[in-house]
Amino acid sequence: MSIKSKVLAAAATMAMVGGVSAAGLLPADAATGGPPPPVGRIFAYGQEYGAPFVLDVLRQGEKAGQPVILFRTSNSDPAEDFTIADEGTVNTFYTTYGLVSAGLAKTYGTDTAYELAYAPYGVDSGLCVGVGSTAGDGTPVALEPCGASSKTVWVVDTANASGAYDPLINGSDTNFSHPFVLHYPGSAYPTNSPRPQLNTYTLQQYAGAPPTVYNNEEWTGIVPT
């Protein structure tokens, strides 16, 4: 199932967008030479390692359960081809799509949510970045069927943003005071072998006023030409 969102029509060479939200994305042809993806290709990456390392599907595997990792940014690697598939508020995902819980909608109802679809060479795979079971500490992040459940929905936690970066709460979250967010494993590096797999983990913050979220739990994206 896909509930394609509307996209702003404009032109830019590189557009920065907080939290990889489709609200600021611009349509672009797939850099790998395929047909234009339905909502515009993006590179998604974290604050810890920045744009040199982006979300990537391990070994270009196009199947449910295939691990999602960080890998060196490349305009010729189809494993880095993602698009925003479904986008709206958490309330929309609850009332219209029925994909998230009433508790999630009550807590984050007006926040933006979306699915991040894998589209190698600009071709929709029907698979999205998500989890195979309810998010918790250390739950592996992998490709999962789009639109099937809350597990492929990500909520942009703007309340804990750091500049252009935002934590991304998994839609299956059940701990609303300490949500489970997209997380890059601590002490891991993208060139390690075997490649470290992204997971979900409790939102981690440094003490302060206000507290600051760990860099490995803050995410953003760019739109390539």
Tens digit of pLDDT for each residue in 138-195?
999 999 999 999 999 999 999 999 999 999 999 999 999 999 999 999 999 999 999 9
Sign of CA dihedral 37, 92, 18, 172: negative
Rounded CA-CA distance 111/91 in Å is: 8
Could you give the C-alpha distances from 139 to 46, 68, 71, 88, 166, in angstroms and in order? 18, 12, 20, 25, 20
**CA 168/CA 30 separation, integer angstroms:** 24
H/E segment holding residue 94: helix 90-95
Q: What is the pLDDT of residue 16?
A: 32
3-17, 43-57, 176-190: least confident range:
3-17
Share of the chain above pLDDT 70, in %: 81
Q: How confident is the model at residue 40 (pLDDT cuts 50, 70, 90)?
A: low
**Residue 37 — pLDDT band, cuts 50, 70, 90?**
very low
Phi and psi torsions of 151, nearest 5°: -70, -15
Q: Is the peptide bond before 37 cis (omega within 30 degrees of 0)?
A: no
At 204-225, the pLDDT tens digits run 999 887 889 999 999 998 876 5
Domain ranges of the chain: 15-223
Residues 83-116 pLDDT 10s? 998 889 999 999 999 999 999 999 999 999 999 9
Which pLDDT does position 207 carry in this prediction? 86
Half-sphere exposure of 101 (CA within 13 A, CB side): 12
26, pLDDT greater than 60 = no
Could you tell me the CA-to-CA distances from 70 to 74, 161, 188, 196, 202 in Å, in that order? 12, 21, 11, 8, 20
Q: Which of 12, 17, 211 is nearest to 112 (CA)?
A: 17
Q: Which fold has domain 15-223?
A: Trefoil (Acidic Fibroblast Growth Factor, subunit A) (2.80.10)
How many whole angstroms separate alpha carbon 80 and alpha carbon 69?
Answer: 10
- What per-residue confidence (pLDDT) applies to 84? 92
Specify the pLDDT at position 85.
85
Contacts of 82 (CB under 8 A, 6+ apart): 41, 42, 43, 44, 55, 116, 117, 118, 119, 129
CA angle 211/87/185 to nearest 5° reads: 45
* pTM score, whole prediction: 0.84
Rounded to 5°, the CA angle 109-110-112 comes to 100
